[in-house]
Amino acid sequence: MTSSPSTASTPPSRPRVVLGVSGGIAAYKACELLRLFTESGHDVTVVPTEAALRFVGAPTWAALSGKPVSTDVWTGVEGVPHVRLGQTADLVVVAPATANVLAKAAHGLADDLLTNTLLTARCPVVFAPAMHTEMWEHPATTANVATLRQRGSLVIEPAEGRLTGADTGKGRLPDPAEIFAVATDVLARAATSGREGSDLAGRRVVVSAGGTREYLDPVRFLGNRSSGLQGYALARTAAARGAEVTLVAANVTLADPAGVKVVRVETTAQMQAEVVAACQDADAVVMAAAPADFRPATFTDAKIKKTDDGAAPEIVLAQTPDILAGISHDRPHGGLVVVGFAAETGDAAGTVMDHARAKLVRKGCDLLVVNDVGGGKVFGAADNEAVVLGADGDATPVPRGTKSALAHVIWDRVTTLLDAR
């Protein structure tokens, strides 16, 4: 490792990303994260620690990034890399971030190139911790994470699952694709709005996603076409803005968003129980899920069989609980901001907005996000357009764009309401 980091100028169109890699077994996953950054057009400089190179060697990082790799401040000292990298970066991501690196960053230690870069960076900084559960839960690590978050860094909550050896628990590095999604969201928001995502730091939010199922017999159910994409975008962007997020997901097969606690449910009653429980100490809840409005009045223990005469069974339906109205009218505390979604179609009784305004009053929520789903629009699509209605009569049209873009508009409105309470 005698080469210095590249000093070539980078076109403004290519965001400069410093990818710090510390010495944990999850370092191999950072290779995939690096590829996601480079293949999407980012200019990436990898800064591993000496310990990280025991897991993944410098040639791998150099080959994937197209740049020489260094760990110390002495290599290429004429270019002052320990200052320049942080000064010129648009984003710094540390993945995995060990307890050791979090401690050094929190206390301002600078004994290698990565920790020097963290001290000089004036751009958004994202840490993706990975360690054993006992280390993550240790009071020292808890204090260090709190310090970093207070200073404006985004420390993603680690995932739960299989750790090194036979251990299982919280401390697993989130999926690289989800870390990439959060990191690029932070970068895009800083570039377009000048905001570095921490305005939800210290806030607890609940998001529901997906479509519930109401079972008729062991193999059949009533359901809907909700993919969960918008709810997952809301959860991901809230985490990127520093919130502690609980995502109640019904029948969704998407990867868990990085830094988000995911609670899986099937039925409307299950979703109601989990959402109500999570809202007890939450600051905001966004009901992006599509709970079934009706369920079969009776459940048949055995599969309903076809008959020889071709007659179809009569199915009696009963209404399911109205989760949104219940939370809005019976809030666990006065500071809770409640956001609902309305997937509407126009009919002879009124337009989409006519139905939406009536629903906003009926549900009693603070904001209602209105989607025109005529012809199957929105469901499963990568983009979305909506109108965000406020209980105060305000209406914010959101033009067609990514579901993450709509999510940010919603969180902007939520933060305004929270700040006023």
Instruction: Output the six-digit token pair for 217.
Output: 């017999």
Burial class, 45, CB count within 10 angstroms (exposed 0-12 / middle 13-18 / buried 19+): buried
DSSP 232-251: HHHHHHHHHTT-EEEEEEES
**Which residues lie below 8 Å from residue 14, measured CB to CB, with a gap of 6+?**
41, 42, 43
Q: Is pLDDT at 358 greater than 70 in this prediction? A: yes
Greater model confidence, 8 or 89: 89
Q: Is pLDDT at 244 greater than 80 in this prediction? A: yes
Residue written as token pair 């209404």: 319
- State the virtual CA torsion across 200, 206, 210, 216 in degrees, nearest 10: 180
Where residue 242 falls among pLDDT bands split at 50, 70, 90? very high
Q: What is the pLDDT of residue 3?
A: 46
Q: Is pLDDT at 380 greater than 70 in this prediction? A: no
Q: Is pLDDT at 74 greater than 80 in this prediction? A: no
Where residue 11 falls among pLDDT bands split at 50, 70, 90? very low
Q: Is pLDDT at 10 greater than 70 in this prediction? A: no
Catalytic (active site) residue 224: yes
Whether the domain at 16-193 and the domain at 204-304+313-419 fall into the same CATH topology? yes
How many Cα atoms sit within 13 Å of 47 on the Cβ side? 31
Among the listed residues 224, 251, 371, 384, the single catalytic one is 224
- Model confidence over 359-375: pLDDT tens digits? 999 999 999 999 887 65
Q: Is pLDDT at 64 greater than 70 in this prediction? A: yes
- Model confidence over 272-320: pLDDT tens digits? 999 999 999 999 999 999 999 999 999 999 998 988 888 888 899 999 9
Pick the closest to residue 200 from 283, 286, 287 (CA basis). 283
| Domain layout of the chain by residue ranges | 16-193, 204-304+313-419
Q: 3.20.20.140, 3.30.70.141, 3.40.50.10300, 3.40.50.2000: which CATH number matches 204-304+313-419? A: 3.40.50.10300
> What is the pTM (predicted TM-score) of this model?
0.86
Mean confidence (pLDDT) of the chain: 90
Q: Is pLDDT at 346 greater than 50 in this prediction? A: yes
Q: Does domain 16-193 have CATH number 3.40.50.1950?
A: yes
